Amino acid sequence: EVVILRLGHRPGRDERMTTHVGLTARALGADRVCLPDNAGQSKATVADITDRFGGPFDVELTDSPQAMVRNWDGKVVHLTMYGERVQDVEGEIRDAHRDAGEPLLVVVGAEKVPFDVYEEADWNVGVTNQPHSEVAGLAVFLDRLFEGRELEREWDDADRQVIPMETGKRVESVGEE
Ligand code: SAM
């Protein structure tokens, strides 16, 4: 199991970023995203996309993201520009997850992340050591974790499906008519 935890959410200002953390987690192979409990609007958007474009994927709210980090029964990866280089640690993380079957909690921040999280994480991981975005960091990390296999994923219970094309846009209804 791979679960993404969004730590921190400033209503209004972070609405799109938090939503995009959820959508990116879903699209790139995570099983679930947990958002802070003031991010109900983002939760609704991610749930709506899952209803339409398929799953399985869960989105939930938590009133204590930090407790979730503390109590996680598995390994914790914290994405941060200050961390170890993803290319140096991705192998150990994959081994823990894939071979040892450890559930993985992947934490991304919004504003300043409390230092406790750095201490509690099994790995603090930088996707480059340059400042950028939680959405970009998450996307690259998941692609490295799954070694590209997430791109082949099939979706269950979708109402609609995009038909890839060279030019133009085609979306088809799927399932029961
Ligand atoms: N300045 C804040 C701090 O020092 O904790 C972080 C702000 S940053 C816009 C928001 C989040 O993006 C971070 O918490 C981290 O999860 C993610 N992020 C930004 N740059 C990253 C990088 N190079 N590698 C991995 N994650 C990154």
What is the ipTM metric for this complex? 0.94
**86-100 in b/e burial notation, b at 16+ Cβ within 10 A?**
beebbeebeebbeee
Query: What atom of ligand 1 comes closest to residue 113's alpha carbon?
Result: 5
Residue 177, pLDDT score:
53
Ligand 1 geometric centre to CA of 140 (Å): 13
pLDDT per residue as tens digits for the range 92-146: 999 999 888 899 999 999 989 999 999 999 999 999 999 999 999 999 999 999 9
The encoded tokens of residue 118 equal: 């750095």
CA nearest neighbour of 6 among 28, 37, 51, 29: 37
Q: What is the pTM of this model?
A: 0.96
- Check: CB of residue 60 under 8 Å from CB of residue 43: yes
CA nearest neighbour of 74 among 168, 5, 18: 5
Q: Whose CA is nearest to atom 13 of ligand 1?
A: 109
CATH number, domain 2-173: 3.40.1280.10
Q: What are phi and psi of 93, to 5 degrees?
A: -65, -45
Pocket around ligand 1: residues whose beta carbon is below 6 Å from it? 79-81, 108-110, 112-113, 126-128, 130-134, 137
Q: Whose CA is nearest to atom 1 of ligand 1?
A: 112
